[in-house]
Structure 1
Amino acid sequence: MASDAPAGEVSLLDSYSPDRPPVTAMRIDFSKTPLAPHYSPYFAMVIDSLLTPAECAAVIASAGSNWRDLKKGDSWRECEQILSVSPDWAKALSERLAPHLPDEIKVLKKGDVLSEHIAGPSNLRASQGTSKTVWRLRGADERLSFLRYRPGHHFKPHCDALYSPGDKEKSFLTCQIYLSDMPEGQQGGEGSGGETRFWPSRTGMGRQSKKSGGVEEDEQHTENESFLNIEPKIGRALVFQQRMLWHSGQEVKRGEKFTVRLDLMYNHHFEKPSK
């Protein structure tokens, strides 16, 4: 059950600090990765230094300490979670994120290739006379999912669910903000794990999960499959489409990984096409 975040003034501490590192945003061009046959038109991006370490500490502290084990389906997912409802933090994080998102994902409409991959044709089909469906990005949902991964914790390949609390709003993007660094790997040994890994499409291989609302894989990936890793890095945000983009949280080998997961919400409108 979700709990309300502690009351109090919300601020991202280092918003105007002259010493904060510059924010850098990079769209992932899947056509130049081993996953090109699966995801070339799909959307994902990495935003580095979105939050400073001090801001990450403040975000973690806002969640409190009531961690609960989250185990589902034959160890399909093992981690700890705090589900916090905080309109203030959702607003603060949305305002920090918004300037770094490309304009082409802020408005989704029929006839646009990227929009149709993000939202899916069925979500763009409705019309009222000459007015067509348009989904406009409004920001993060007030539900913040804080996750802590300890050694042995992981999240197997899956697609995120589209969240729809009402008829006129729906999530199409996930924003995962890494709130901690992983320990450096031992020299000559394996790393600390915890990567977010994009896998080839498993369309037709998954099943709908009644517990999570997402799509789980039915079959294990093979060792020779291609993949793309995104390393956990404090203050880094990974933004990606929820629909049909398979990914996993790789097993943590050493240390702890803290993240906060946001659903980026869109509002539904009927608008006349611009000339």
Structure 2
Amino acid sequence: MNVGTRTIVLIGATSGLGREAARRLTADGHRMILVGRSSRRAKDLAAELPQAHVISADIATADGVDAVARQVAEVTDRIDVLVNNAGVMRPAREVTAEGFELNFAVHHLAPYSTTSRLLPLLRRGQGRVVNVNSEGHRAPMRGGDRVVLDFDNLQSERGYDPFMVYSRTKLANLLFTYQLHERCPELTVVALHPGFVRTRLGREFPTVQVRLVHALALSARRGAEPVVRLAIGSVQAGAYYNRFTPVVSSHDSYDVPAAQRLWSVTEQMRGPFAV
């Protein structure tokens, strides 16, 4: 393995900016382990990037995370970089097989569980974790209310608003990121807003809304650029990046009691973090 070559696990690699990042990092010679939910897109990606190891699994569930962890451990004994990139947005409330709201499961539970299960391999490697987040953690994309976690309605059973739920679950991801940085100082943990990127995220919303969003958004190729940079370049541990620049995230993202409470609640849902 070349000195500059890293072993990188990229979650959410089969479409959008994740796929573009996978292409770039593979072309640069890194050892890539790529994870996506769709078996069809995973098969297509494996054909496109035969030098990469591609895994099809649903990381929204604990069983799916376990399957990923087992398969990753079969092909490597170390991880230098873990990129938690999977994202979702649904116009109507959906739940996973475990009964958790889908945004919450994908944006928060999945990074928590995946990082926990892969922690031993991260500790043997360079131990960098990049959580792909969003400026949406500050306010819903439609505008309006301040974004805070509602611990009495974490599963959005009441008053489901897709834009607010997306924002709250991205805030949860950022609270997790900062807690992970504090609890596992041996890791290099960062969060990233890659830009307002044209992806498949809102494909189930009305066509007019999707076309308007796409007209204003960055291409997946441009959205992948900061993901690649933060995966392999110099970074400020514990920082939140707006594309290539560390910035201050929302006031509520630094709420330590809320972050600690969320960590405790998450452990009740998914078990203790493997510290």
Q: Same fold (TM over 0.5)?
A: no
**Larger-Rg structure:** 1
Which has the larger helix fraction? 2
TM-score, with length taken from structure 1: 0.22
Which has the larger strand fraction? 1
